[in-house]
Structure 1
Amino acid sequence: MTAAHPLNLPVRLRAFLHVFLDGPTPSAKTANYHVPGAFRAVVQRLQESLSRTERFEVATAVPSEAGAAGASSFLGASAASLAAREAFNPSLQLARQLKLKLEAEDPASVPRPYSNLMVSVHAVATFKALEDYLKARIGVVPAAASGAAAPAVPASAPDVAAPTTQFSVEFFIGGAPVSRDTTVFGAVYREEQRRRGEGMQPNIWSHVCTVKYRKKAVIERGLRVKLPYPTTLPSTLPADAPSTKILHLLRLLHGLNTRWSEVYTESQASAAGAGIPTRLATLPPSLFANSKLTAKMNRQLDEPLIVASHVLPRWTAAVSRDFSFLVPFETRLVYLQSTAFGYSRSMGRWQAGNGGSGAGGGTGGGGSNDGASPVGRLPRQKVRISRSRIIDSMVKVMELYGTTQALLEVEFFDEVGTGLGPTLEFYSEVCREVRRRGGVPAGGLAGSADDRVFVWRDDTEGAGGEDAKISADPAVAGFINPAMGLFPAPITKEVAASEKGRKILHLFKSLGTFVAKALLDSRIVDMPFSPIFLEMVVGEEEEEESAAERALGPVGRKRAELHLLRHVDPALHTSLLELQKYVVAKREIDSNKALSNAARLSRLAAIKVRDASIDDLCLDFTLPGHSTVELVPGGRDRAVTIDTVEDYVDAVVEMTVGEGVRRQVEAFRKGFDRVFPVEDLRSFSVQEMAILVGGSEDEDWSYETLMDSIKADHGYTSESRTIRSLATMMSTFIPAQRRGFLQFVTGSPKLPIGGFRALSPPLTVVRKNVEGGRKPDDYLPSVMTCVNYLKVPDYSEAGVMRKRFDVAVAEGQGCFHLS
């Protein structure tokens, strides 16, 4: 419909929120038209319609109609038996093999046996394994060659001979090139899909696929703020399908349900508006979840060959990213781990979940009893760093190893600890040091406060950014912990171009890689980022962003950014709203064309807010709390007047949440993208992203959960008095005590996603032996953080246990020695 509506969009949205969510009436003259329960009924009816109309197909690696023939001929087992085993344990699909016919494009360039041969290869192996297999055998063309058959290709083929020339191997299926990172299954599956048509289920097990290969000589030589209510449809869904239209409407309703407050920003400066309500009758997130699509998504992610080969149906990406509210957090997390974390992590997750070697173990040894052999072993990268130069070490480690798929393991110089414990402590120590109120050391620890850079906003009373240098003693200043989360301290264009600015941006880039690597390795980052900062880093689709820009317009954009400031610095936001009253009063006077110039100037001079004129405030064009940051050239010497107060408000907002932080956000995003694309996190809300990065703030420390999670061993059972006393003591900890206890036992102050039940290895408590002539009360508890192994003496009473733990937690941190 192209005709303009008589009411603008914000008015219509507020009317909708009034009728369905019990928002305020659009005006004082409007009657109350709220209909209780109407919104719930609409959403429920849409969910029912979606479940009836959606036709999303689940792709399977082994179609039922072809499973018997394929299984019998290639695995030598009965079809019924194989189907039953794979239904019980889908990871057995990883043991399946495909037969390929390898044909050399130029037979004369390779030994005769390899110009045309049949090979058996794991379906989940990549073409890199095929390349390694061939390169070790076709580097030299001998004068005579036998016609012996080639052996099976392992999932990761080792070199058996060094080729005499530098070359790579290119592969083609159906005339199309195949990437070396593609799995054999994925390439063959796509070719069958192309031949049969996307609507047909490919069957790749009943025939031999021809792969051509050839040798190839190797020659050596702006920031956007995410806005609510997306309106564009993903290209992966048919636009004319009824289910797509229902999804579109559900997404709009979900946006209004979760971010309704932003609808009222248009009227906050209007005297006629009803103001911003504090709460509406919103619906719980669970009502927007669709159980049928959740079951389908979980079923689809249970196909290891489909997942590992990146041939998931396109609807899975659309549901996970564009309609993420339809499926729960846990399902979307599995989707992220399966699609964004790389081949080795995907295989490790499957093997860990089905009794094989996993990402956590990383040993690659052993398989299941059903005959599935381990593939995609996860390597480990061990590094040794200096505890006294933790930030410099982090930057260097991220530069060298941040982008690798290897599981990072950290050791400290002059300490004996190794494995999980020191690694977790490395992450927690970096998070701690990067939040020092006195600044972060950049390129060396020695020197004055001028050698340090200020990374985050510090809105604590008495300390703020550059001004905090006057109290840069870490023992006094402590650490930054803003109520609204960590948000970049602003820098000007001139500072960004300086050596100091380059250090700040390089640190942000390293921190981006650090956070992404922690996600990849399932480590918790104890940095409470501002949700707005995370939202800026993730961004949104360019097309969606352009649509939002057009809908808002320049004036709406400024109001949206001012509204955004409320979530970064509430005190500054409140102050700017007071200054906006001067702007509104000035506009009213300027709009009165009947006033003479003298009368206009007189009325402008008389404008007061809370009995103060703008001149009484003695403001200049510097950023509040950051006296060295000038908003305009020479801003320190330029006073804010009634004629420039609007420019001042705009400049403060732009420096705080716009241009002043754009470079830091881009640097962080660039560092993150080195590990995996940050856009893959768009499946999650900012609150869920905070949980992904830093774990849940709402940890379950109840007695029942602790008793279920603690593994009592070697002298204790779950019924032992000491175990029960320990669980009782832990359940009474306040947040600070919880952090200290976890740091002491695990090396990290936060629990992983899933809480105590997700600790790997589980928290194990054993009895600490007592030497002759001494009592258990004389000993402190000790730990092996690498395996979450807590040694507790059999204390005589609970009071003694608490005292001993208080001493151990206080004195047992900051180093790793033999216990």
Structure 2
Amino acid sequence: KTFLFSSSMGISRALHTLVGEGGEGLVRTSDGSSRDVPVKLARISRQKVRISRTAILDSARQVMEMFGQSNSIIEVEYFGENGVGLGPTLEFYTLVAKELQKRSLKLWFEDTPDPESPYLFNKGGLYPALLPPTLEEEEEETFDVRKVSQTINDVDQAMALGRTMGFYCDGCFQNFSMATCQRYRCDICDDFDFCASCFASESHEHTSFTLLDLVDECAAAAAAAASSSSSSSSASSTPPASASSASSAPSPSSASASASSSSSSSLSSALSSALASANATSTPSSLPASSSSSSASAARKKMETEEMELELFDEREASVVDPAAMFKLIGTLIAKGIMDGRLLDFSFSHAFFKLILSLPLSLSDLSSLSPQIYNSLVGLLEVGRKYKEEAEEGKKDPIEEMSLFYCFPGQSEWELIENGKNVPVTIKNYEKYVEDVVNHYFYGGVKKQMNAFTYGFNRVFPMEKLKLFQIHELENLICGATDTETDAFWCISALEDSIKCDHGYSTGSKVIQNLFSVMSNFTRKQKIEFLVFVTGSPRLPIQGWKGLNPPLTIVLSNPEPPFDPSDFLPTVSTCFHYLKLPEYPNIEILETKLKLSMESKSRFHLS
């Protein structure tokens, strides 16, 4: 994990991973010696967004489309609620993950449907729902991981330079690095620049625009600034060129910089066009439009806090959900979760992790995903093997007598070969039939979704960097500790060793011992409810309670006389993992009050 954060997510993440805020770093002094000295690092920038609980999935689509590529840490708050920071943000990731597992979206394969639950559950874990076979070769866009990875690097360079040069959109006042890699300039009023989102929304009255590639633009401005800086040192009377003048009238040095970055421009065009088309349908219309430089200046000053409210659209009906668009969102969400250290409440199958890691899959991988189909295919192979071993002359073909046709099991319209519903499976082709079923299950039937997932993931950092992990390690990185791993974290000794008590309580306090006793007897559902209550996330890190940052702290919260502690419920500051527990007289009252708080549909408000 340290290597991943140090090599794949930019210099700021690498420094914070290796040194940490307020940590020590190895510094080489002027006399040539090296020693550890305190190193202060600036905080990684935060991008605050305010969203609505009633449209959580559409909120996620807009947030990830606009800020998924950003190196800033996303922080979420909700309309009508006072809570900000870590707690609401963790709950946002939890709610989005839960929403993406709704049965109505039809995104995941389900072996044993449960019509009573709105959420899908598969005993073998989540795996993309299969799409029908495509017999004819269609021309479709494919995503080369290496090319997209290079594109991401180019865009990262543009984003860094964009922040330095101060390039802002005059429509939504965002730094271009926060919204898109494309920049449009009005040909009529040359001072007005627009990101792809504002350009698509037609918020400007003029219709003549020039498309400027941000990578070229930033590189040219940087080269011009460097050139003018060096010239000013030799001739102090010559004023340095500004970023805006460099962009409108590039110097010879900026022209050479533009030419040298032409290859990166072509690489970034694919990602830029995808962002432009996506932003066209998800423009944050609550942001004001501008027609004056003074209002733009004021808005830019406001945007220094990087805070935004999203005006949300109603969620789409399940009948028009595009699987590719949703898996692109899932890819971006998971990558951003890894980057920001947010655990996601997904129970992915090992087969899905193998697809992410580009590991081979075979018939045996079907045993946990779809035992019924697996047993049928294994039985078919066994019948064919026995027939070949006996090889009795004149004996009827036992496989042909099964009346199977060359279609996907259970889907008579899904032909695996041309005219497959009229082609019987026989002793001559049964092995090829099993091979084709497995191939469709793990490759052809999920190709479109996995291409989109890969593309969405690579918008944040290259997915190929995950190949250094084993399957269980990747599961821990994305989802935290599994149920089996967390059992040991809930025993009384582990709770005493990991949870901090302060401000009126100690580990030996009677109330604390009663609390640990109640927690150690929680069911799986109650464990999830407690974690959501105190942290906002239903998962523990792989290190358990010790992995929480900040650590879970329990403090005394008694009311003023004449009120009684039994009249009050426990409360939590989720951002600081602070459980404020009244001094209940016995374990029965404590358990009742705690479970009532856990089971309530809480919101983030000031206490």
Shift of 1:439: 2.2
1:334 aligned onto 2:2: yes
Q: Distance in 1 between matches of 2:499 and 2:601?
A: 21
1:456 aligned onto 2:108: yes
- Give the aligned length: 414
> What residue is the counterpart of 1:604 in the other structure?
396
> What residue is the counterpart of 2:340 in the other structure?
521
> What residue is the counterpart of 1:718 in the other structure?
507
Shift of 1:623: 3.3
1:389 aligned onto 2:55: yes
Report if the CA contact (8 A) 2:76-2:92 is conserved.
Answer: yes
1:583 aligned onto 2:391: no
Classify the secondary structure of the residue corresponding to 1:477.
coil
> What residue is the counterpart of 1:404 in the other structure?
70
Shift of 1:615: 4.1
> What residue is the counterpart of 2:439 in the other structure?
654
1:664 aligned onto 2:449: yes
1:439 aligned onto 2:104: yes
Between 1 and 2, higher relative CO (CA 8 Å, sep ≥ 6) is seen in: 2
Structure 1 residues 774 and 632, CA, compared in 2 at 3 Å: closer, same or farther?
farther
1:380 aligned onto 2:40: no
Classify the secondary structure of the residue corresponding to 1:742.
helix
1:480 to 90, 112, 120: 120
1:414 aligned onto 2:74: no
Counterpart AA for 1:749: P
> What residue is the counterpart of 2:269 in the other structure?
none
Shift of 1:647: 4.6
Q: Distance in 1 between matches of 2:524 and 2:412?
A: 35
Shift of 1:485: 1.6
Counterpart AA for 1:459: D
Q: Distance in 2 between matches of 1:636 and 1:805?
A: 59
Q: Distance in 1 between matches of 2:409 and 2:356?
A: 24
Report if the CA contact (8 A) 2:354-2:471 is conserved.
Answer: yes
Structure 1 residues 371 and 578, CA, compared in 2 at 3 Å: closer, same or farther?
closer
Shift of 1:401: 0.8
Q: Distance in 1 between matches of 2:57 and 2:95?
A: 9
Q: Distance in 2 between matches of 1:532 and 1:691?
A: 16
Shift of 1:808: 0.9
> What residue is the counterpart of 2:152 in the other structure?
none
Q: Distance in 1 between matches of 2:50 and 2:422?
A: 51
1:794 aligned onto 2:586: no
Classify the secondary structure of the residue corresponding to 1:604.
coil
Counterpart AA for 1:799: E
Report if the CA contact (8 A) 2:20-2:41 is conserved.
Answer: no
> What residue is the counterpart of 2:363 in the other structure?
562
2:544 to 745, 750, 755: 755
Q: Distance in 1 between matches of 2:412 and 2:590?
A: 51
Q: Distance in 2 between matches of 1:627 and 1:435?
A: 27
Report if the CA contact (8 A) 2:133-2:415 is conserved.
Answer: no
Counterpart AA for 1:439: S
Q: Distance in 2 between matches of 1:518 and 1:417?
A: 20
Counterpart AA for 1:571: Q
Structure 1 residues 796 and 375, CA, compared in 2 at 3 Å: closer, same or farther?
closer
Counterpart AA for 1:484: G
Structure 1 residues 808 and 741, CA, compared in 2 at 3 Å: closer, same or farther?
same
CA RMSD of aligned residues (A): 3.1
Q: Distance in 2 between matches of 1:356 and 1:805?
A: 41
> What residue is the counterpart of 2:298 in the other structure?
none
1:804 aligned onto 2:593: yes
Structure 1 residues 514 and 625, CA, compared in 2 at 3 Å: closer, same or farther?
farther
Shift of 1:356: 8.0
> What residue is the counterpart of 2:350 in the other structure?
531
Shift of 1:804: 1.0
Shift of 1:706: 1.3
Shift of 1:726: 1.2
Q: Distance in 2 between matches of 1:500 and 1:631?
A: 25
> What residue is the counterpart of 1:768 in the other structure?
557
Structure 1 residues 634 and 432, CA, compared in 2 at 3 Å: closer, same or farther?
farther
Can you list the C-alpha shifts for 1:399-450, whole angstroms capped at 9, x where unaligned?
Answer: 11111111111112222221101100011111111112x222xxxxxxxxxx
TM-score (normalised: structure 1): 0.47
Q: Distance in 1 between matches of 2:82 and 2:514?
A: 31
Classify the secondary structure of the residue corresponding to 2:593.
helix
Report if the CA contact (8 A) 1:781-1:790 is conserved.
Answer: yes
> What residue is the counterpart of 2:529 in the other structure?
740
Alignment of 1:313-352 (within 5 A): 333-352=1-20
Q: Distance in 2 between matches of 1:646 and 1:429?
A: 44
> What residue is the counterpart of 1:686 in the other structure?
471
Unaligned ranges ≥5, structure 2: 26-35, 141-317
Q: Distance in 1 between matches of 2:526 and 2:39?
A: 45
Alignment of 1:67-466 (within 5 A): 333-352=1-20, 354-355=22-23, 372-375=38-41, 377-436=43-102, 438-440=103-105, 454-460=106-112, 462=113
> What residue is the counterpart of 2:193 in the other structure?
none
> What residue is the counterpart of 2:566 in the other structure?
777
Structure 1 residues 477 and 647, CA, compared in 2 at 3 Å: closer, same or farther?
farther
Counterpart AA for 2:458: D
Can you list the C-alpha shifts for 1:219-271, whole angstroms capped at 9, x where unaligned?
Answer: xxxxxxxxxxxxxxxxxxxxxxxxxxxxxxxxxxxxxxxxxxxxxxxxxxxxx
Structure 1 residues 719 and 625, CA, compared in 2 at 3 Å: closer, same or farther?
farther
Q: Distance in 1 between matches of 2:9 and 2:42?
A: 13
Q: Distance in 2 between matches of 1:630 and 1:419?
A: 51
Report if the CA contact (8 A) 1:347-1:376 is conserved.
Answer: no
Classify the secondary structure of the residue corresponding to 1:566.
helix
Structure 1 residues 383 and 633, CA, compared in 2 at 3 Å: closer, same or farther?
farther
Classify the secondary structure of the residue corresponding to 2:505.
coil
Classify the secondary structure of the residue corresponding to 1:787.
coil
Q: Distance in 1 between matches of 2:582 and 2:463?
A: 47
Alignment of 1:622-633 (within 5 A): 622-624=407-409, 629-632=414-417
> What residue is the counterpart of 1:506 in the other structure?
325
Q: Distance in 2 between matches of 1:478 and 1:521?
A: 29
Report if the CA contact (8 A) 1:712-1:765 is conserved.
Answer: yes
Structure 1 residues 585 and 371, CA, compared in 2 at 3 Å: closer, same or farther?
closer
Q: Distance in 2 between matches of 1:353 and 1:626?
A: 56
Report if the CA contact (8 A) 2:500-2:552 is conserved.
Answer: yes
1:729 aligned onto 2:521: no
Shift of 1:580: 1.2
Shift of 1:535: 1.8
Larger Rg: 1
Q: Distance in 2 between matches of 1:630 and 1:802?
A: 57
Unaligned ranges ≥5, structure 1: 1-332, 358-369, 441-453, 464-470, 546-559, 608-612
Structure 1 residues 706 and 654, CA, compared in 2 at 3 Å: closer, same or farther?
same
Can you list the C-alpha shifts for 1:161-203, whole angstroms capped at 9, x where unaligned?
Answer: xxxxxxxxxxxxxxxxxxxxxxxxxxxxxxxxxxxxxxxxxxx
Shift of 1:753: 2.7
Report if the CA contact (8 A) 2:123-2:369 is conserved.
Answer: no
Structure 1 residues 670 and 774, CA, compared in 2 at 3 Å: closer, same or farther?
same
In percent, how many aligned pairs have the same letter? 37
Counterpart AA for 1:346: A
